[in-house]
Chain A
Amino acid sequence: MNQMLEVRNLSKIHGRGCPRCFDSTGPDMDTNICAHCGSVVAAHGVSFDLRAGEILGIMGESGSGKSTLVKTLFFDETPTVGEVLFFDGERQWDLFALNAAEQRWLRNHRFGMVYQNPHLGLNFKVSAGGNIAERLLMSDLSHYGEIRERARRLLARTEVLPERMDESPKKFSGGMQQRVQIAKALATQPPLLFLDEVTTGLDLSVQARILDLILEIQQELGTAMIVVTHDLGVIRLLAGRTIVMKYGRVIESGLTDQILEDPQHAYTQRLVASSL
């Protein structure tokens, strides 16, 4: 399969940072807070590859830096150092060397994001259809009827009742809100989707149906995905390959089956054991 994303040596420090930040944080130090300057090392030296159409899982507990990682890739946050190449057909984008307008273009046209908190991904002041329209309008579609039709189809695909498309997502259940987010993320048919704890906090039955939906979409459209979660069940179901993070570092990576059957790192072993 073709290479889609090449993440090299990505680091993110919240706070002022100091020369001793990296040495004084990480799994071995059992913290992500630098004892010398109080900065938080959310991620350090993270490298991985993603191939077209693949689902990569990023697993870790809160504070592991897994959310920071996808937010950085989606340009919600700026990395402290690191390089990411995005291979998009003939084009190759050096993500953090782009200007703001190019980054915005990629966000709108080539990437999609589904947040754990629907408030981050949806504008609750406009209707569900309007949320999708906003993304379509960013890609210069200017025919009202066509926008509406596309929004209706996307909502239908993600199993949101079309007759509710003119309501605010504020009135929707948590599961429905995630479906609207997924529809919105898919609106411009991006080849790469980021999913950040999308099923956390939902009922188990709702979780299962959303995970099914994600799998179906991946199979239908061949969308590559990075799935961030603390839930081994989600990883087991969705991800072909997985990386495990703790205190901002990658401590283990490989095929998901391998990691779940035969975890090498003590931390992963504990995670796997605790979920059995």
Chain B
Amino acid sequence: MNPGYELPQNEAGYSFGFLDEYAKREVRRTVLKAICIPGYQTPYASREMPMGRGFGTGGLQVTLSLVGPGDTVKVIDQGADDSVNAVNLRKFIELTCPHVDTTEHTRDATLIQSRHRVPEMPLTEAQVLVLQVPYPDPLVVVEPSEARRKTMHGEGDYSRLLTKLYEDIVQFDEITISHRYPTRINGHYVIDPSPIPRYDVPQLHQNRALILLGAGREKKIYAVPPYSQADPLAFDDVPFRTEDFTDEYGRRRACARCGAIDSFLDELIDDDGARIWQCSDSDYCNERLAAAGKQEVARA
């Protein structure tokens, strides 16, 4: 091979936000297009990021293309700021975006990148939520060919997806889709809202914040603009239902830590083998505790 190669001297010489400026500009153009056509999976030339495909590279490219000095970024995974992947992404943003603040508080963030959750605390018009997406296309369960799916989306043809729901009810008396619940945006495009639980889907509806969804491996960006209509697919007589957190006595389970009865709960098995439930959104849980001025509620 060629002699005389020299390694790049300046290994830390990455530009602001890691990506080169052309790449960021392209992502921003894609984001604009996605906002103009709510729910449309806008293709873009996703770049390789220094973390694995599937670890949030799509969301990260959106975040890095939008972030600027003065922004405050929050990164969560499974609702928690301290999950390994959230820590990793946050550290990367801190490394490559000097003068950008990071926070664990939902209310302080201007940009929130999240995997699998929408924060419990209502968002504001000044905030952008970026969701990481593994599978951007809800039609993939009924049609493997991307070219054919594109036509189906264009024509608003979701009958095969609805047939899957019909078959679910026939077979199980329930719609068995647990997360990634297909949701129609502004009456046309049906999106995969990323693997958020059904509990979070109603939050997409008429949200005040801009919600951007980035799929790095599948190279698509789509948007739920502020105040969009978001309707989970369902039948008139078989409504969409969120996760059921009622206990055997029909009472809503409460977070074992902060006592909340209005949050998505993680189910845990403690050292004694008993089941406990607590908030999946760690900031929400902490805020409630702080407001109550106490450490933790006593366990029942």
Contacts from A to B (Cβ < 8 Å): 100-101, 104, 123, 126-127, 129-130, 133-135, 137-138, 142-147, 166
B235 touches A144 (CB 8 A): yes
Q: Does B238 contact A (CB under 8 A)?
A: yes
A130 touches B235 (CB 8 A): no
**Known contacts A134-B160, A142-B235, A142-B236, A147 near B155 by CB under 8 Å:** no
Shortest C-beta distance, A254 to chain B (Å), equals: 40
A129 touches B160 (CB 8 A): no
CB-CB contacts of B132-175 with A at 8 A, as 1s and 0s? Answer: 00000000000000000001001111111011101101110000
Bound state CA distance, A127 and B156, in angstroms?
A: 23
CB-CB < 8 A to B156: which residues of A? 101
**Known contacts A137-B162, A144-B235, A144-B237, A130 near B155 by CB under 8 Å:** no
Q: List 16 A-B contacts (CB under 8 A).
A: A104-B157, A123-B163, A126-B163, A127-B167, A130-B163, A130-B166, A130-B170, A133-B162, A134-B159, A135-B159, A137-B158, A142-B235, A143-B236, A144-B237, A147-B235, A166-B170
CB-CB < 8 A to A145: which residues of B? 237
CB-CB < 8 A to B163: which residues of A? 123, 126, 130, 133-134, 137
A-B contact count (CB 8 A): 54
Identity of the chain A residue whose Cβ is nearest the Cβ of B166 in the assembled complex: A133
The 10 closest A-B pairs by CB, nearest first: A144-B235, A137-B159, A138-B159, A134-B163, A143-B236, A137-B162, A101-B155, A133-B166, A144-B238, A130-B167
Bound state CA distance, A104 and B157, in angstroms?
A: 9
CB-CB < 8 A to A134: which residues of B? 159-160, 162-163
Give the residues from 232 to 263 in chain B that come closer than 8 angstroms, CB to CB, to chain A.
235-238
A137 touches B170 (CB 8 A): no
B159 touches A127 (CB 8 A): no
Bound state CA distance, A165 and B155, in angstroms?
A: 29
Query: In the complex, given contacts A130-B163, A144-B237, A144-B238, what are 12 additional A-B residue pairs having Cβ atoms less than 8 angstroms apart?
Result: A100-B151, A100-B154, A101-B156, A126-B167, A127-B167, A127-B170, A129-B170, A133-B166, A134-B163, A137-B166, A142-B236, A147-B235
CB-CB < 8 A to A127: which residues of B? 167, 170
CB-CB < 8 A to A130: which residues of B? 163, 166-167, 170
CB-CB < 8 A to A100: which residues of B? 151, 154-155
- Interface-central residue, B156, B164, B170, B238, by most chain A CB under 10 Å: B170
Bound state CA distance, A100 and B155, in angstroms?
A: 8
Shortest C-beta distance, A159 to chain B (Å), equals: 21
CB-CB < 8 A to A101: which residues of B? 154-156
Bound state CA distance, A269 and B163, in angstroms?
A: 49
B155 touches A144 (CB 8 A): no
B169 touches A144 (CB 8 A): yes
Contact of B155 among A104, A129, A135, A142 (CB under 8 A): A104
Bound state CA distance, A138 and B236, in angstroms?
A: 15
Identity of the chain B residue whose Cβ is nearest the Cβ of A135 in the assembled complex: B159
- Interface-central residue, B154, B162, B171, by most chain A CB under 10 Å: B162
Shortest C-beta distance, A180 to chain B (Å), equals: 14
CB-CB < 8 A to A123: which residues of B? 160, 163
Bound state CA distance, A145 and B156, in angstroms?
A: 23
Bound state CA distance, A108 and B265, in angstroms?
A: 44
Bound state CA distance, A234 and B155, in angstroms?
A: 38
Shortest C-beta distance, A174 to chain B (Å), equals: 23
Give the residues from 103 to 158 in chain B that come closer than 8 angstroms, CB to CB, to chain A.
151, 154-158
CB-CB < 8 A to A133: which residues of B? 162-163, 166
Bound state CA distance, A101 and B159, in angstroms?
A: 14
Shortest C-beta distance, B167 to chain A (Å), equals: 5
B170 touches A143 (CB 8 A): no
Identity of the chain A residue whose Cβ is nearest the Cβ of B236 in the assembled complex: A143
Bound state CA distance, A123 and B166, in angstroms?
A: 14
B167 touches A138 (CB 8 A): no
Bound state CA distance, A263 and B156, in angstroms?
A: 49
Bound state CA distance, A79 and B157, in angstroms?
A: 24
Bound state CA distance, A169 and B167, in angstroms?
A: 14
Bound state CA distance, A147 and B237, in angstroms?
A: 11
A144 touches B159 (CB 8 A): no
CB-CB < 8 A to B151: which residues of A? 100
- Interface-central residue, A130, A143, A144, by most chain B CB under 10 Å: A144
Bound state CA distance, A127 and B170, in angstroms?
A: 9
CB-CB < 8 A to B158: which residues of A? 137
Shortest C-beta distance, B121 to chain A (Å), equals: 33
CB-CB < 8 A to A104: which residues of B? 155, 157
A144 touches B167 (CB 8 A): no
CB-CB < 8 A to B237: which residues of A? 143-146
CB-CB < 8 A to B162: which residues of A? 133-134, 137, 142
CB-CB < 8 A to A135: which residues of B? 159
